[in-house]
Structure 1
């Protein structure tokens, strides 16, 4: 049932040409080189250290690892992270 609802939402979103991240409440991750990550539509910070930042999203936990990681801005729906980014992964 849940899978059918998700598929229906996707079909309607595509038919109306709406942005997927907004219509389906998905995170949007923008990576600029290896120095900046912008995450839109997050659900909060789980862990914040110099070498690891974990952010909760609707599709799982977004884990950013690297060196000198720093949250530059945090807003209700957006986080900007700077530093030497080595790896980005999503886990359930």
Structure 2
């Protein structure tokens, strides 16, 4: 049933020419160099330190590694992180 719903969402997204992040509840990630990263459509902060941020997504997690991290803005589904960003890793449900 879940797979069928996902296929239907994919089809509707293509047919209606809607952004995938809206229809499929995917995260939207905007990076400015290695200094800022803005994440929309997350489900909450799982872990935060000076060198790591782990966010819960609808499907999996997002892991950001670097140094000197500061959360500048945090809203229910949006987050702005500043610092030196070295890695952005998407972890699907199988790898979490």
Runs of 4+ in 1 over 6 A off after TM superposition: none
Residues 53-84 of structure 1 deviation map (CA, whole Å, 9 limit, x = unaligned): 11111121111110101110011211000100
Q: Structure 2: which 5+ residue stretches go unaligned?
A: none
The correspondence of residues 36-75 of structure 1 with structure 2, limited to 5 A, is 36-75=36-75
- Number of residues of Structure 1 aligned to a counterpart in Structure 2: 92
Moved more, 10-19 or 45-54: 10-19
* 1:13 aligned counterpart, secondary structure: helix
Q: Hey, what does 2:85 align to over in structure 1? A: 85
TM-score with structure 1 setting the length: 0.93
> How far did residue 4 of structure 1 move?
2.1
RMSD: 1.0
